[in-house]
C-alpha cells in the first residue's frame, strides 16, 4: 500500500512539474527549472516552440527526429530540452504553463512553428533553426554546427573586453552578426551590447547605427502598412509605399522588397499591367538578389491572372 501511494504521488508530481509532455521523455515545459538545470550542468537550452496538435512540420520534426534514441543520445551532453507548446486543445496544459508559454513566445518574438532556439543557461539565444530533413543523426550534426555560433559570440565578446573604441565596436558587431538572430531577439536579449557599440563608435565607423536606423524605418513602414491592410485601404497602402520609396535611403534589396509590396497591392486592385511593370522595376533594382526566383514566380502568376481576367465573361446586365 505504501509503495502504491508513493508511486501515485510521484506520477502526480511529474504531471504537474511539466515533465509529461508531447515531446516525450527527457523534455520539460518548466522554463525556469530548465534554466537552473542548464546552469548546474553547464549545458545549453534547446527550446522547441511547437504546436503539437495542429502544426504539420512540428509533428514531422518530432516523429523524424526528436522521438528517436539517436537524437536523445546525441544531445544529452550538450542540451537541456525544453518544449513550449501552443496547442489548439489547451486542456492538456495548466493555466500556469499557458501563461509562461505566451510570455516566452512574445519575449523571443516567435512567429512561426516549429521554431527551435539554442540559448545559453541565461536564456540568451545564439542560434535559431527549425525543421531539417535527414533524420536524427543529421539533425544532431546540424545542432553541433550551430553551437559554433555560441563559441564565435563568446570569443568576440572576450575580444571586445580587451579593446576600446572602434575596435571594440567591431568585435561586438561581429558577435551579434555571428548568431543570425532577428532584430527583436537582438533588442530583447543583447540591448546592452547594442548600447556598448554606440558608445564605443560614436562616429559610426562600423555602420552599425546606420543599419539600426534603417531597420527602425522598415519596422515603422511595416507597422503603418499593416494598419492600412487591416482597414482594406489599398489606396492608402499604395500611397504609403510610394511616399516611403520617394524618401529613399534604403539598401537595394530593401527597396526591391518595397517595390514587390507595391506590385502586390496593385495586384489586389486587379491593376495587372501596373503590377507587372512594378515587378519588372523591382527586378531591375537588384537583378542578382536572392529574391529573384520569387520575383519571377510572382510575375508568372500575375500574367496568368491577367489572362484569366481578360477572358472572363462580362457580368450580365440587370
CA distances from 210 to 188, 199, 201, 206, 215 (A): 19, 14, 12, 9, 9
- The Cα–Cα gap between 156 and 151 comes to 8
Q: Please give the chain's pLDDT, 318 residues, in tens.
A: 333 334 333 333 333 333 334 556 789 999 999 999 999 999 999 999 999 999 999 999 999 999 999 999 999 999 999 999 999 999 989 999 999 999 999 999 898 999 999 999 999 999 999 999 999 999 999 999 999 999 989 988 998 999 999 999 999 998 898 888 888 899 899 999 999 999 999 999 999 988 888 888 888 888 899 899 889 999 999 999 999 999 988 889 889 999 999 999 999 999 999 999 999 999 999 898 888 989 999 999 999 998 888 765 444 444
User: Is residue 26 within 8 Å of 81, Cβ to Cβ?
Assistant: yes
Cell (9 digits) for 185: 531577439
- The Cα–Cα gap between 85 and 52 comes to 6
- The Cα–Cα gap between 291 and 261 comes to 13
User: Is residue 257 within 8 Å of 287, Cβ to Cβ?
Assistant: no
- The Cα–Cα gap between 20 and 95 comes to 16
Kindly report, residue by residue over 164-199, the tens digit of the pLDDT.
Answer: 999 999 999 988 988 888 888 998 999 999 999 999
Amino acid at each position: 500500500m505504501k509503495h502504491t501511494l508513493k508511486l501515485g504521488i510521484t506520477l502526480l508530481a511529474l504531471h504537474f512539474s511539466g515533465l509529461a509532455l508531447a515531446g516525450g521523455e527527457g523534455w520539460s515545459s518548466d522554463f525556469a527549472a530548465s534554466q537552473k538545470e542548464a546552469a548546474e550542468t553547464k549545458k545549453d537550452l534547446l527550446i522547441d516552440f511547437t504546436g503539437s496538435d495542429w502544426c504539420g512540420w512540428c509533428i514531422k520534426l518530432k516523429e523524424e527526429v526528436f522521438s528517436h534514441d539517436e537524437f536523445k543520445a546525441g544531445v544529452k551532453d550538450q542540451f537541456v530540452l525544453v518544449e513550449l507548446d501552443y496547442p489548439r486543445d489547451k486542456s492538456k496544459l495548466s493555466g500556469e504553463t499557458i501563461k509562461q508559454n505566451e510570455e516566452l513566445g512574445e519575449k523571443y518574438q516567435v512567429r512561426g512553428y516549429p521554431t527551435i532556439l539554442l540559448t545559453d543557461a541565461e536564456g540568451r539565444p545564439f542560434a535559431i533553426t527549425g525543421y531539417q530533413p535527414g533524420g536524427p543523426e543529421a539533425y544532431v550534426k546540424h545542432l553541433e554546427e550551430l553551437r559554433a555560433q555560441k563559441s564565435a559570440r563568446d570569443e568576440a565578446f572576450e575580444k571586445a573586453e580587451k579593446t576600446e573604441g572602434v575596435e571594440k565596436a567591431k568585435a561586438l558587431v561581429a558577435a551579434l552578426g555571428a548568431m543570425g538572430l532577428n532584430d527583436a531577439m537582438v533588442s530583447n536579449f543583447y540591448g546592452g551590447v547594442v548600447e556598448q557599440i554606440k558608445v564605443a563608435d560614436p562616429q559610426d565607423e562600423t555602420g552599425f547605427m546606420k543599419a539600426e536606423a534603417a531597420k527602425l524605418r522598415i519596422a515603422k513602414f511595416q507597422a503603418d502598412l499593416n494598419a492600412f491592410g487591416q482597414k482594406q485601404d489599398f489606396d492608402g497602402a499604395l500611397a504609403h509605399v510610394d511616399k516611403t520609396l520617394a524618401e529613399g535611403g534604403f539598401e537595394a534589396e530593401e527597396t526591391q522588397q518595397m517595390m514587390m509590396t507595391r506590385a502586390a497591392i496593385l495586384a489586389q486592385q486587379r491593376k495587372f499591367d501596373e503590377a507587372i511593370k512594378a515587378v519588372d522595376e523591382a527586378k531591375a533594382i537588384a537583378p542578382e538578389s536572392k529574391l529573384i526566383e520569387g520575383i519571377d514566380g510572382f510575375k508568372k502568376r500575375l500574367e496568368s491572372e491577367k489572362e484569366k481576367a481578360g477572358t472572363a465573361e462580362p457580368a450580365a446586365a440587370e
